[in-house]
Structure 1
């Protein structure tokens, strides 16, 4: 009998692996609706949907291995990173999905940034100079952008490769119209040295300052949430190190 592996689990959702099947349990059915719809639309490799019985979605494992992990050097080749960039560009060039943008608007993000920066300092989580510097960097991301079909949570562990080929992109529950540079920043968070390889495959001019702004913004907003949900943003190469790299 296959063992049950807990891939990720917190108060909002959990993902379990049993053999070659992933079981996603989510209390928010809208997220699962988006995930299934997005995988049916996107012009990039995705997992096969095996069955769905709310609140559970079963999907097949994809071949290959993740492009890397946050906090660890990526062992994937430059060509694999370029292939990932090409796949993301294909996604961003696809027609927009029929559902509205998920997540918060610019005013809400700005308010969240104000709140989190204040809490990080007053609670003694991070030094004031570190927060202030990264807030200055992060504010550049709070600008209008042209909506693209985005993944919305394109962490490095969500792209799988076999050699130099992308075999699958997983976890589409946040997909929708969004900022293409947010996807690129999420994918390269903690792997600044691989940005050039990714952009080589993406194949267009990219505003690196905007990517750095999203690194700071995402990290500032996530440090307390990660700590509260059993993750360690202070681990080497993770969010706090990303913030320190801007000093």
Structure 2
């Protein structure tokens, strides 16, 4: 008998696996629209859409295994990290999708969101003031004009599947759209900065390492409280709080 397994669940959405089918349940139809549209346009391997009946989206499993996860060492070779860098570059060079994605928020909007979040982190005693202040300073480098690219918008390690040194699939496109290419690179290497050189070796030019580091700080500052409130542990070894501490 095929069993249903909960892959991921919180108050906003859930993902179940039944055999080789992943069933995403999301009450926000806009996120499903974005995901389906982005997968149809992306020039990289993506899951096959089996059916779509909002709030459900059924996707076929992609071959291979994830490259790793935040907070755990990756067993992937330098070659496979480089292969992912090449795949990300292919995505970023593709024609722009019609929507503005998560990575495309304006600098002004990010400043307002970041400053509000930093104040909450300190006021509520979530993080020490000096840790927040230092990372807010580092994050400043990301708050600059950028050329829009086709971005995934949530390119965590867990969303990239590989087989050997080949990229076999990239999943979870609900945040995709027009955005800052370096945001994707920073998200992918978050907590695994030792592999950044491998990634950019096949990604190519136009890499500002200060901006990558800025996105590591900015993403982590914005994520800590949300993760803690939704049942995740940003304080676990190698996760977001350790990323922030590494900037001290």
Q: Shared topology, TM-score over 0.5? A: yes
User: Per the alignment, in what secondary structure is the counterpart of residue 210 of structure 1?
Assistant: helix
Partner Cα separation in structure 1 for residue 139 and residue 100 of structure 2: 25
**Equivalences for 1:166-245 in 2 at 5 Å?**
166-245=167-246
Partner Cα separation in structure 1 for residue 101 and residue 244 of structure 2: 27
Q: Specify every segment of 5 or more residues in structure 1 that has no aligned partner in the other structure, as ranges.
A: none
Partner Cα separation in structure 1 for residue 70 and residue 157 of structure 2: 7
Task: Name the structure 2 match of 1:44.
Answer: 44
Give the CA RMSD over aligned residues: 1.0
Regions of 4+ moved over 4 Å: none
Partner Cα separation in structure 1 for residue 219 and residue 207 of structure 2: 18
TM-score by length of 2: 0.97
Task: Name the structure 1 match of 2:56.
Answer: 56
Task: Name the structure 2 match of 1:115.
Answer: 116
- Count of paired positions: 247
Deviation of 1:125 after TM superposition, in Å, equals 1.1
User: Per the alignment, in what secondary structure is the counterpart of residue 95 of structure 1?
Assistant: coil
Partner Cα separation in structure 1 for residue 203 and residue 68 of structure 2: 18
TM-score by length of 1: 0.98
Are 2:100 and 2:179, in contact at CA under 8 Å, matched by a contact in 1?
no
**Equivalences for 1:14-29 in 2 at 5 Å?**
14-29=14-29
Q: Specify every segment of 5 or more residues in structure 2 that has no aligned partner in the other structure, as ranges.
A: none
Cα deviation digits, residues 202-243 of structure 1 (max 9, x gap): 122411110000000000011000000000000000000000
Task: Name the structure 2 match of 1:90.
Answer: 90
Cα deviation digits, residues 128-159 of structure 1 (max 9, x gap): 11111000001111111000000010011111
Cα deviation digits, residues 169-210 of structure 1 (max 9, x gap): 000111100000000000000001010111112122411110
**Deviates most, 47-56 or 92-101:** 92-101
